[in-house]
Copies of this chain bind each other. A is one copy, B any other.
Amino acid sequence: MPEGTTQPFVTHVLKAEKIVFSEYDHHIQRRLSAMKGQYLDQAAYQALLAREDALLYEVYEMRRPEVPGELLFGLSIVHPGIVGQEYFMTKGHFHTVLETAEVYYCLRGEGFMVMETPEGECKVEALRLDSVLYVPPRWAHRSVNTSSDTDLVTFFVYPGHSGHDYGSIEQQGFRKLILARDGRPEIVDNPRWHSPEKRKK
């Protein structure tokens, strides 16, 4: 469907071995090489990257005008995998317009949404089939797939004028990490996290 259409339209979520939209405007594929500096175990990251620039996650998006009152929506698909002890995850971002929310509906798999405000308040919520997660305005968010063999698939909706700020998280990281310990996910403090106080200096 043409970007900027004012006509209603339908797409279908096709649930086979992969989950995809029947129609979409945009398909983003994020590989390991796009996550430089984001994983705690840098040696494991480099070793894995030397072997293969693995596909970490994909996004199918329906583009709409990026203005207030409009809604952007799509599918996020985080593949299973691990870098050192850390699960495959999305880059994570704030919205450029901080005062914008996001809603996620989990369609397959299991994992966590790691969230954080600019002031350093943090929260981690579990996702499983048919979980609906509300991310309030001001909260950065990152999806983490903790399954060993299944995609973490979410359907997301956010306001048209939100925008994406990836830079802040690239620099400061999230306060919490999800690590595999004895084969089970554990929420731990990120030793490399930059607190808002440190960041000011």
A-side residues, CB < 8 A to B, are: 5-15, 21, 62, 64, 68-71, 73, 97, 99-103, 105, 113, 115, 123, 125-127, 130-139, 155, 157-160, 162
Contact = CB atoms under 8 A, between A and B. Distances in A.
Contact of A69 (B131, B137, B157): B137
18 contacts: A7-B123, A8-B125, A8-B136, A9-B133, A9-B134, A10-B126, A10-B131, A10-B134, A11-B132, A12-B131, A13-B132, A68-B159, A70-B101, A71-B157, A71-B159, A73-B103, A73-B157, A132-B155
B69 A132 contact: no
A12 B132 contact: yes
Residue from A21, A71, A133 having most chain B Cβ neighbours under 10 A = A71
Dominant secondary structure at the A interface:
strand
Nearest to A158: B71
Contact of A135 (B8, B97, B132): B8
A5 B136 contact: yes
Instruction: Tell me which of A103, A138, A139, A162 has the highest count of chain B C-beta atoms within 10 A of its own C-beta.
Output: A103
Contacts of A134: 8-11, 62, 64, 71, 73
